[in-house]
Amino acid sequence: MSTRTDSLISLTIAPAQVIRGNGALKQVGSAIAQLGSRPLLIGGDHTLQIIQPRLESALTGQNCTIAQASYGADCSESALLSLKRAVAEHRADLIIGSGGGKALDAAKLIAHQCKLPIVTIPTSGATCAAWTALSNVYSEDGAFLYDVSLSRCPDLLVLDYELIATAPQRTLVAGIGDAIAKWYEASVSSGHSQQTFLIAAVQQARVLRDILFQQSAIALQFPGGEVWQEVVDATVLMAGVIGGIGGAQCRTVAAHAVHNGLTHLLESHGTLHGEKVAFGILVQLRLEEMIQGNWLATTSRQQLLKFYCEIGLPQTLIDLGLAKVSIADLQRAAEVACADQSDIHRLPFSVAPTQLMAAMVSTTAPCHNLKNDEGFEVEYPTQTLNLKP
């Protein structure tokens, strides 16, 4: 079963250069100056306040004129338009994106559209957006609209652990959720592939998951420590490597489709991308259990519920702040997730919105026939949602 065609495939595997370390930002002046002399720094208002002074001091003596532009709240079409104006006003010859996923996505997309080099400086371990050649575009209200493949990965990625350590712990927890999703999704979308790069991507996704299973709890106990740095490497860099090697064929499946659907509910905007994706993994496994009768999925879900409990990832709609969501709203999210072009249809069976809703409200359903180490049956409380008609 070959999916190889004669069409050309462009590989965008990795940034040209990655500089990582404690205080890395202070030492990247010459590396940035090699890429341009009129950088435009793009980020959120808070990030700009923190990063611009540090960058200015790093660029001292480099003959660079730096300006800044806020992307607002989302990587939306109107934000991109105003950023383009800022690029023209400053006559920028280099874009520096700093912040979380949305700020980095906006900066990468602007650089792509203006054909300028791009430096990414992540401020949290919440996503691998600093690495990848992909940007998500959202509506003004924060609903996911579409993603754009970019011509290349960033020219330079600066991973400064001191900077990441100042972000709320919750962001790294979300990043762990997003990173482990790579295995659950890649193994479904590409697990049977005979292609060298796809086999490599799926296997690395498994290794990444195992590293995070083993290290996350310890890392979160000692922020800034050695194990913590390894976990940051896993969520910010390694997750990006898998996306790069897997490329366009190693797609997301139901976990991200559920995330995309949930972004259409305003009530979900208080939670992070990786938190919704982590919940989406449970939903995906639940679908495999309910529709396919897949007992491996039951075991995986049990393993994940335990892991989520350990590190604080959401297990239910209630945990996602959606306790009061109406059936109509839940149905709307499910319909978005099941739209024709949605990646949910990469599952080896078809999914209807009603089935998806049933999976979404039963992510903690008891795992019958499963025994814990002592031989007792393991039970998880089913969630009680007050669904308004």
Q: Confirm whether residue 134 is marked as ligand binding.
A: yes
Residue with tokens 């972004």: 263
Q: Confirm whether residue 104 is marked as ligand binding.
A: yes
Amino acid in position 38:
R
Residue least distant from Zn ion (Cβ): 178
Q: What tokens appear for 368 in the block?
A: 């019958």
State how far the Cα of 110 lies from the Cα of 96, in Å rounded to an integer: 10
We find the least distance from the C-beta atom of residue 180 to Zn ion, in angstroms, to be 11
Task: Find the angle CA(386)-CA(387)-CA(389) to the nearest 5 degrees.
Answer: 140
We find the least distance from the C-beta atom of residue 193 to Zn ion, in angstroms, to be 21
- With contacts defined by CB under 5 A, name the span among 148-156, 174-182, 263-271, 378-386 that binds Zn ion: 174-182
Q: Confirm whether residue 102 is marked as ligand binding.
A: yes
Q: Confirm whether residue 116 is marked as ligand binding.
A: no
State how far the Cα of 319 lies from the Cα of 309, in Å rounded to an integer: 11
Nearer to Zn ion, 43 or 280 (CB): 280
- Pairing outcome for strands 67-70 and 134-138: unpaired
Q: Confirm whether residue 105 is marked as ligand binding.
A: yes
Q: Confirm whether residue 101 is marked as ligand binding.
A: yes
Nearer to Zn ion, 178 or 288 (CB): 178
We find the least distance from the C-beta atom of residue 178 to Zn ion, in angstroms, to be 4
Residue with tokens 């083993």: 214
* Number of residues this chain uses to bind Zn ion (CB under 5 A): 1
Residue with tokens 């997730």: 337
* Contact criterion met (CB below 8 Å) for 193 and 3: yes
We find the least distance from the C-beta atom of residue 273 to Zn ion, in angstroms, to be 6
* Contact criterion met (CB below 8 Å) for 27 and 58: yes
Q: Confirm whether residue 103 is marked as ligand binding.
A: yes
Contact flag: residue 178 with Zn ion (CB under 5 A): yes
Q: Confirm whether residue 93 is marked as ligand binding.
A: no
Site string for Zn ion, 129-168 (x = CB under 5 A): ----------------------------------------
Nearer to Zn ion, 94 or 236 (CB): 236
- Exposure on the CB side of residue 43, measured as CA atoms within 13 A: 25
- With contacts defined by CB under 5 A, name the span among 140-148, 170-178, 316-324, 351-359 that binds Zn ion: 170-178
We find the least distance from the C-beta atom of residue 252 to Zn ion, in angstroms, to be 7
Residue with tokens 């435009």: 40
Q: Confirm whether residue 147 is marked as ligand binding.
A: no
We find the least distance from the C-beta atom of residue 236 to Zn ion, in angstroms, to be 12
**Which residues ranging from 38 to 57 are in contact with Zn ion (CB under 5 A)?**
none
Q: How many helices (H) and strands (E) does the chain have?
A: 14, 8
Distances (CA, A) of 2 to 39, 96, 121, 192, 194: 45, 40, 39, 10, 8
- With contacts defined by CB under 5 A, name the span among 33-41, 158-166, 175-183, 298-306 that binds Zn ion: 175-183
We find the least distance from the C-beta atom of residue 169 to Zn ion, in angstroms, to be 19
Nearer to Zn ion, 98 or 235 (CB): 235
State how far the Cα of 131 lies from the Cα of 178, in Å rounded to an integer: 14
Contact flag: residue 105 with Zn ion (CB under 5 A): no
- With contacts defined by CB under 5 A, name the span among 31-39, 138-146, 178-186, 286-294 that binds Zn ion: 178-186
**What Rg do the C-alpha atoms of the chain give, in angstroms?**
21
We find the least distance from the C-beta atom of residue 274 to Zn ion, in angstroms, to be 7
Q: Confirm whether residue 345 is marked as ligand binding.
A: no
Nearest to 215 by CA among 224, 203, 227: 227
User: Hey, which residues does 96 pair with through a beta bridge?
Assistant: 41, 119
Kindly report the number of other CB atoms within 10 A of residue 306's CB atom: 13
- With contacts defined by CB under 5 A, name the span among 13-21, 30-38, 171-179, 196-204 that binds Zn ion: 171-179
Kindly report the number of other CB atoms within 10 A of residue 279's CB atom: 28
Q: Confirm whether residue 79 is marked as ligand binding.
A: no
- With contacts defined by CB under 5 A, name the span among 149-157, 176-184, 353-361, 369-377 that binds Zn ion: 176-184
* Contact criterion met (CB below 8 Å) for 265 and 325: yes
Helix (H) / strand (E) containing 218: helix 196-221
For Zn ion, the binding residues (CB under 5 A) are: 178
Annotated binding residues: 101-105, 132, 134, 138, 178, 256, 273
**Which residues define the annotated binding site for NAD(+)?**
101-105, 132, 134, 138
